[in-house]
């Protein structure tokens, strides 16, 4: 097995740079998904269902990509293919003027995430075995969110310069997309088999191609997945939040990606804080996630712009925990030989909840905001109960 030519932390930082550039691309696009679809005639329900379906596709399809990556052991191939699909879909999105085509491209971009994520998370999990799970995933996520901040700001600037023209705003995102693919090829050359970071036992499992996909996932993993699915089912998408702000005249379209950038800054800070806390106290830190998720609709759908902005920032903090510390916990619950499968299954469970949550929040928003708030708070209370009965542990 080839030895890597860089230390684990350097690998994490380089992978973080790739994610930074990728987020530049797809978070720049996601920051204006709600207004873009609305400009093509979409209702709040359509925005909620499409953005929820996109997230569901990004998650549920990992049920297939995860086990396939484990069986083949070709983690780099899956990672590169997934990023390629994403960085191609985004610039094309700005060229369509038809609602169904735009909806299809929104979902296609998320499919790219489904293709790459189990393999990518597995590659990263090897290096974080040496750096500390919480800290490694947190630093990666923080760098990821730098791109999520730059992308929306870039889109906002182009929208302002072009008078709200979506085509150049999304077309400029092709440049960091090319850089993503170039850096991936370079990193693969330097670290062809990151499994060596996790030690000799992992090397043996990774070398035995047919054995890496066998065995059952631990019971603790399933309990943890149940908690995560419940809390996710009561979580609003930014598409609905931005739809509310624009259609109620609270915020101009050009400012929506700026607010999204602020939410991504909160994402990075929350990831770092909970990641470091995770390495010290373990999964108990995750109790903060349902509390944040419950407060999002209370704040974001209020009548005041200032309070709605705070709600969007809280949404960003909750996203930071979802995308970093939740992933770190999976790596500690599941042995290396089944990790890509576990990430795929975990994402699939969350994906079903995300689709339900997108439809739930979008539908209840159009029916009654007070009812929406009550339902979401009740769901997050149930999630806290499930977490208290979950005995997740670090391996």
**Distance separating alpha carbons of residues 112 and 244, to the nearest angstrom:** 28
The sign of the dihedral angle between the CA atoms of 371, 375, 380, 384 is positive
pLDDT by residue, tens only, the chain of 395 residues: 566 667 889 999 999 999 999 989 988 888 788 888 888 888 877 887 888 788 778 777 888 888 898 887 889 999 999 999 999 888 888 888 788 888 888 888 889 988 998 899 889 988 888 888 888 888 888 888 788 788 888 988 898 888 888 888 888 999 999 999 999 999 998 888 888 887 633 443 444 333 444 567 888 888 888 898 899 888 877 778 888 888 877 777 778 878 887 887 888 888 889 888 888 887 788 889 999 989 888 888 877 888 888 888 999 899 888 888 888 888 888 887 788 888 888 888 877 887 788 788 888 887 888 888 899 899 999 998 888 766 544 44
Q: Which DSSP symbol is given to 363?
A: H
Q: Supply 173's token pair.
A: 């995102």
Whole-model pTM above 0.85? no
Q: Annotate 262-286 with DSSP letters as a single string.
A: HHHHHHHHHHHHHHHHHHHHGGGGG
């Amino acid at each position: 097995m080839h030895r890597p030519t860089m230390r684990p932390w350097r690998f994490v930082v380089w992978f973080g740079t790739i994610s930074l550039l990728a987020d530049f691309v797809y978070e720049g696009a996601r920051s204006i998904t709600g207004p873009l679809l609305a400009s093509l005639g979409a209702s709040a329900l359509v925005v909620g269902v499409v953005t929820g379906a996109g997230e569901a596709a990004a998650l549920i399809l990992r049920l297939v990509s995860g086990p396939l990556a484990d069986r083949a052991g070709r983690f780099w191939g899956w990672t590169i293919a997934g990023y390629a699909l994403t960085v191609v879909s985004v610039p094309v999105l700005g060229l369509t003027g038809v609602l169904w085509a735009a909806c299809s491209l929104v979902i296609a971009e998320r499919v790219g995430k489904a293709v790459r994520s189990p393999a990518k998370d597995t590659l990263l999990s090897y290096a974080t075995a040496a750096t500390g799970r919480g800290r490694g995933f947190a630093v990666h996520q923080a760098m990821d969110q730098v791109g999520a901040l730059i992308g929306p700001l870039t889109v906002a600037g182009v929208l302002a310069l072009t008078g709200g023209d979506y085509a150049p705003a999304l077309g400029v995102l092709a440049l960091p997309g090319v850089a993503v693919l170039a850096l991936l090829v370079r990193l693969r050359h330097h670290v062809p088999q990151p499994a060596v970071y996790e030690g000799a036992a992992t090397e043996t499992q990774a070398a035995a191609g047919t054995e890496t996909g066998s065995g059952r996932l631990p019971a603790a993993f399933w309990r943890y997945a149940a908690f995560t699915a419940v809390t996710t089912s009561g979580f609003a998408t930014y598409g609905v939040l931005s739809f509310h702000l624009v259609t109620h005249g609270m915020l101009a379209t050009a400012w929506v990606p700026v607010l999204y950038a602020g939410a991504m800054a909160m994402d990075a800070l929350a990831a770092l804080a909970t990641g470091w806390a995770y390495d010290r106290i373990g999964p108990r830190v995750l109790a903060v996630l349902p509390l944040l998720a419950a407060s999002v609709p209370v704040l974001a759908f209020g009548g005041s712009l200032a309070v709605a902005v705070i709600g969007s920032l809280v949404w960003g903090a909750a996203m930071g925990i979802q995308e970093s510390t939740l992933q770190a916990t999976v790596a500690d619950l599941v042995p290396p030989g089944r990790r890509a499968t576990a990430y795929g299954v975990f994402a699939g469970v969350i994906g079903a909840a995300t689709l339900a949550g997108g439809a739930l929040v979008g539908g209840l928003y159009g029916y009654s905001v007070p009812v929406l708030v009550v339902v979401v708070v009740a769901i997050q209370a149930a999630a806290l109960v499930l977490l208290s009965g979950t005995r997740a542990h670090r391996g």
